[in-house]
Structure 1
Amino acid sequence: PLKDSRIVSKRTLPISPGSLIIHRPPRKILSSLSHHQDQTLTTLPLLLREELGRATWTFLHTLAAQYPENPTRQQRKDVKELMSILSRMYPCKECADHFKEVLRANPVQAGSHDEFSQWLCHVHNVVNRSLGKLRFPCERVDARWGKLECEQRACDLEGTTTSHIEF
C-alpha cells in the first residue's frame, strides 16, 4: 500500500504537501477485475467500461490543460503518439477500435494549448454522440478542466525536455 510514499522508478520518495496522491480503484472495480481477469473489457460490466472512459477523458483533458501555448516539435509529436498508442492499446478493444476511426476522421491538432484543448473537446463530443450522450460546450473546456494547481510550476509542461524514464 502507498500510504506515505510513492514509487518512482526504483526509488521511493516521500509525499510532500500538494503532491499527487495515488488512489486505488474502488472495490467494485477491483472485484470485477479479479472476477473477470481473463476477459477483455468489452465483456466486462458496462459500469467498469464507463468508469474507465471517464478516467481516461479526465486524464486527457487534464493533459490538454497543461499543454503549452507554444509546444516544442517533440511535445506535438508526443501528443500525437499518445493518441495513436491509446487507439491501439486501450484496455477496451471496442473502444480502441472506435477511437482509431475517430482519429482517422479527426487527426490530432496540437499546435498550441487552445488548438489541442479544442480538438480534444471536439473528439470527446464525437465519442459522446456515438454513445448517445450530450455534447459538452467546448467554449467551457478551460473552466471544466483547468490547469492543475502545483507548487513552483511543478505541473507546467513548458520547457520539458525529452527524456525516457525506465521503470
Structure 2
Amino acid sequence: MKFSVEMLGIYLCILITLMSLTEIPPNLWGPSGWIFLHYVTFGFRECDKEDYTHFFNYLGNVIPCRFCRESYKQILETSPPDVSSREALIKWLWDIHNKVNDKTKRSYNNASLEDINKRYGSYLKRGCGSCNKTK
C-alpha cells in the first residue's frame, strides 16, 4: 500500500494530536512527583545502587510532559545520578529540583538542603534489613 504525501501529512497531524492529548500539565503531577522522588532518595540502600541509577535514568522516559522529559534528560547529561551514598543521592536530587525550579522560575520553593533533610528525613529508618548496611 502506497501513501501519498497528503495522507502521510494527515497521519502525522493525527499522531501529533494524539501525543499532545496524552500530555499531563506539570502543575497536576509535579508537586506530588517531587515529594515522591525526595522520599525515594531517603530510602536509598547501598545494596540497591544499580536499581536507583536505573530508576532515575529511566524516569526521563516516563515523565508525563514532553518538555519536562526533554529537560530532565538534558540535565542528566551533565548531572547523572550520584549513588555513591544516601547523602550524595539526596543532594543530587536537591540540586536537580533547584535547577528545575530555576528553569521554571519557581524560586519560592528552593528549600535548603538542611530543610530537605528535616522535611523528608524524619521518617527515615536507619539500616537496611536485606543488606545490613546503615545510613
TM over 0.5: yes
Aligned pairs for 1:151-162 (under 5 A) are: 158-160=128-130
Please report the TM-score for the alignment, with normalisation by the length of structure 1: 0.59
Identity of aligned residues (%): 22
Paired residue secondary structure (2:21):
coil
Please report the TM-score for the alignment, with normalisation by the length of structure 2: 0.72
Tell me which structure has the larger Cα radius of gyration.
Answer: 2
Distance 1:79 1:87 in 2: 13
Deviation at 1:160, TM superposition (A): 3.8
Does the aligned pair in 1 maintain the 2:57–2:81 contact within 8 Å? no
Distance 2:22 2:37 in 1: 22
Distance 1:126 1:50 in 2: 17
Question: Deviation per CA, 1:13-67, whole angstroms, max 9, x where unpaired?
Answer: xxxxxxxxxxxxxxxxxxxxxxx997032xx5xxx42131111111110111222
Aligned positions, number: 112
Structure 1: 5+ residue stretches without partners:
1-35, 162-167
Residue matched to 2:120: 145
Structure richer in strand, relative to its length: 1
Structure richer in helix, relative to its length: 2
Distance 1:131 1:89 in 2: 20
Q: 1:157 to 1:86 in 2, by over 3 A?
A: farther
Residue matched to 2:35: 58
Deviation at 1:77, TM superposition (A): 0.9
Residue matched to 1:88: 61
Alignment equivalent of 1:39, drawn from 1, 18, 21: 21
Alpha-carbon RMSD: 2.5
